[in-house]
C-alpha cells in the first residue's frame, strides 16, 4: 500500500489484499494472505482494530477513522492521531524499554494504520480488575513506566533542542487535546450536552458539585496546567483500559492522546483509575467479598507512587543531563543537598498536581461522556450510584485538599474512609436519596 494512496478504511474482506505485500507483516504471520483470518475487535471509542492471523502467527492492525467511531461521522477526528500514536510508541519503547509497549512492525501514515504485536494471552487491565484479579507485577511495571517515560521525555534528560522539536511535533495533536480539555476538565462541571450520570440517585450530589465554586476554580486551574505545563511527552490517556496484562507482563497501549503536558497528568489518571476500581468493588460483591481486592488496589496505588518516586530519584541522580536543575549549580559545587532539595520540591509539586488530575479524572468518568466499565458493569443502579457517590466525594476532596499539602498516603487513607461511609463532606445527599 503506497503512502500516496488516499485513505480508505480497511474491512475484514479487503485487509488481506491491501496488506498482503507489507513485508513487515508477512514475514511475521505468513506470506499467503489468502489464508489469513481477520477479526475486528475494536471495542474502543475511536478506531478500527483487527487481529490478523496467518500460518506463522498473528498481528494487530490498528487503523484510525476520520471520525469518532463511538459517535459517527458527525464528530470528525483527524487521521493524524495515528501519526502521534506511532511517534509516542516509538519514544515510549526507547524510554521505558522494549516490552513495555507493543512492538511496532509497520506504520503507514496516509492510511493512518499501525501494524503491531498481537499481545496474547494479555487482557485489558480494567477487565482483570473488574473480574477480581490481582496481576502481581502491575504496580512495579507501571511505576517504572511512568517514571522512565516522564523523566526521559523532559528537559531533565533531553537536549533543549530535542525536547522543543518534539514539543512542536506533538503541538499539532490539537483535536485529541481538545477532547481532554473539554470532556475531562470542563463538561463534568456544568450541564454539558454529552454528559450523563446515574440518575436520579446522583442528581443532588451533582448539582451540589456544579455549584461548588472552589471545586470548579480548581478544576479550571488544573485545565490550565494541562494545557500549558509542557514538561514532558505524556501518554495522555493512561487509564486501566490502556494497559494489557498477564501475570508476568504489562504493556501500555493506545497513546494517541500523547502531547507535551505536565508530568503529573499520566500518574494522576493512572491513580484515578485504580481508585475507581477500588470504589467500584462493593458493586461487584455478589459473588463474594472483594475486601482483599480492595486492600490490594490501595496497595497498588501506594506501590506505584513509591516505585515512581524511587525510580525518578534514581534517574535524577544518574541521568539528569538536560538543562533543568543543572548539576553545575549543585553537585558540581559539592551541593548535593541542593540537588536533593530541588528533587523533593519537584516531586512534591507533582504529588499535588497528580492528586488534582486524579480527582478530575474520577469526576469525568462518572459525570461526563466516557464512563468506565468498573462502574457501568454494576447492574443494580442503586448499588452503582452508591459506589459512584463515594468516588465523586473522594475526588472532590482530593482536588480541594491537594494544594494544602495532602499527600498520596493521606489520599489513600481518605479513600478507605470514604469507602467505609465516612465521607469527607458535610453532606451526603448524593447517595442517600
Q: Is 172 in the site for its own copies (CB under 8 A)?
A: yes
Inter-helix orientation angle 291-318/336-367, to 10°: 140
Neighbour count for residue 163 (Cβ, 10 Å): 23
Q: Are 373 and 127 in contact (CB under 8 A)?
A: yes
DSSP 3-state of 211:
coil
CB of 344: closest distance to its own copies in angstroms?
9
Classify strands 58-64 and 250-252 as parallel, antiparallel or unpaired.
unpaired
141 or 353: CB nearest its own copies: 353
Binding mask 346-365 for its own copies (x = CB under 8 A): x-------------------
Half-sphere exposure of 194 (CA within 13 A, CB side): 16
User: Of residues 175-194, which lie at the interface with its own copies (CB under 8 A)?
Assistant: 177-178, 181-182, 186, 189-190, 192
> Least distance in Å: CB of 89 to its own copies?
21
CA distance 232 to 234: 6
Return the number of other C-beta atoms located less than 10 Å from residue 136's C-beta: 12
Closest CA to 155 of 63, 233, 65: 233
Binding to its own copies by CB under 8 A, coded x per residue (else -) over 221-250, reads x-xx--xxxxx-------------------
Least distance to its own copies, CB of residue 410, Å: 22
Check binding of 291 to its own copies (CB under 8 A): no
For the CB of residue 319, give the shortest distance to its own copies in the complex, in Å.
Answer: 17
Which CB atom, from 250 or from 401, has the smaller least distance to its own copies? 401
Q: How far is the CB of 351 from its own copies (least distance, A)?
A: 15
Q: Is 137 in the site for its own copies (CB under 8 A)?
A: no
Residue with cell 494512496: 5
Q: Which of 27, 199, 333, 348 binds its own copies (CB under 8 A)?
A: 333
Q: 116, 102 in Cβ contact below 8 A?
A: yes
Classify 178 as helix, strand or coil.
helix
Q: Which is closer to its own copies, CB of 68 or CB of 227?
A: 227
Q: Are 313 and 424 in contact (CB under 8 A)?
A: no
Which residues contact its own copies by CB under 8 A? 155, 160-161, 164-165, 167-169, 171-172, 174, 177-178, 181-182, 186, 189-190, 192, 210-211, 213-214, 216-217, 219-221, 223-224, 227-231, 323-326, 328-330, 332-333, 335, 337-338, 341-342, 345-346
Amino acid at each position: 500500500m503506497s503512502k500516496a494512496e488516499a485513505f480508505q478504511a480497511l474491512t475484514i474482506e479487503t485487509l488481506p489484499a491491501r496488506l498482503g505485500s507489507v513485508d513487515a507483516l508477512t514475514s511475521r504471520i505468513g506470506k499467503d494472505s489468502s489464508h489469513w483470518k481477520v477479526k475486528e475487535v475494536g471495542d474502543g471509542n475511536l478506531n478500527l482494530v483487527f487481529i490478523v492471523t496467518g500460518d506463522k502467527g498473528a498481528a494487530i492492525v490498528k487503523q484510525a477513522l476520520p471520525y469518532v467511531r463511538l459517535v459517527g461521522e458527525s464528530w470528525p477526528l483527524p487521521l493524524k492521531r495515528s501519526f502521534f500514536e506511532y511517534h509516542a510508541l516509538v519514544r515510549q519503547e526507547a524510554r521505558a524499554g522494549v516490552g513495555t509497549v507493543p512492538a511496532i512492525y509497520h506504520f503507514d501514515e496516509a492510511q493512518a494504520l499501525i501494524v503491531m504485536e498481537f499481545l496474547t494471552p494479555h487482557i485489558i487491565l480494567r477487565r482483570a480488575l473488574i473480574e477480581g484479579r490481582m496481576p502481581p507485577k502491575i504496580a512495579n511495571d507501571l511505576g517504572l513506566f511512568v517514571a522512565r517515560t516522564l523523566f526521559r521525555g523532559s528537559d531533565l534528560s533531553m537536549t533543549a533542542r530535542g525536547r522543543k522539536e518534539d514539543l512542536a511535533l506533538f503541538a499539532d495533536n490539537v483535536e485529541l487535546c481538545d477532547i481532554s480539555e473539554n470532556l475531562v476538565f470542563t463538561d463534568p462541571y456544568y450541564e454539558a450536552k454529552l454528559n450523563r450520570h446515574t440518575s436520579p440517585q446522583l442528581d443532588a450530589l451533582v448539582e451540589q458539585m456544579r455549584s461548588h465554586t472552589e471545586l470548579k476554580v480548581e478544576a479550571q486551574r488544573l485545565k490550565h496546567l494541562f494545557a500549558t505545563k509542557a514538561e514532558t511527552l505524556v501518554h495522555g490517556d493512561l487509564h486501566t483500559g490502556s494497559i494489557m496484562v498477564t501475570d508476568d507482563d504489562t504493556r501500555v497501549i493506545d497513546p494517541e492522546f500523547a502531547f507535551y503536558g505536565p508530568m503529573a497528568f499520566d500518574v494522576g489518571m493512572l491513580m484515578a483509575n485504580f481508585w475507581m476500581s477500588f470504589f467500584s468493588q462493593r458493586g461487584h460483591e455478589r459473588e463474594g467479598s472483594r475486601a482483599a481486592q480492595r486492600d490490594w488496589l490501595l496497595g497498588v496505588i501506594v506501590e506505584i507512587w513509591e516505585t515512581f518516586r524511587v525510580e525518578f530519584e534514581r534517574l535524577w541522580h544518574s541521568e539528569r543531563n538536560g538543562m533543568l536543575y543543572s548539576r553545575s549549580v549543585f553537585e558540581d559545587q559539592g551541593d548535593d543537598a541542593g540537588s536533593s532539595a530541588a528533587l523533593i520540591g519537584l516531586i512534591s509539586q507533582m504529588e499535588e498536581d497528580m492528586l488534582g488530575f486524579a480527582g478530575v479524572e474520577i469526576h469525568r468518568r462518572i459525570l461526563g461522556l466516557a464512563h468506565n466499565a468498573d462502574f457501568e458493569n454494576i447492574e443494580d443502579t442503586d448499588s452503582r450510584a452508591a459506589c459512584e457517590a463515594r468516588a465523586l466525594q473522594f475526588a472532590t476532596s482530593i482536588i480541594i485538599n491537594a494544594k494544602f499539602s495532602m499527600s498520596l498516603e493521606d489520599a489513600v487513607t481518605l479513600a478507605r474512609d470514604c469507602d467505609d461511609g465516612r465521607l469527607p463532606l458535610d453532606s451526603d445527599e448524593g447517595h442517600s436519596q
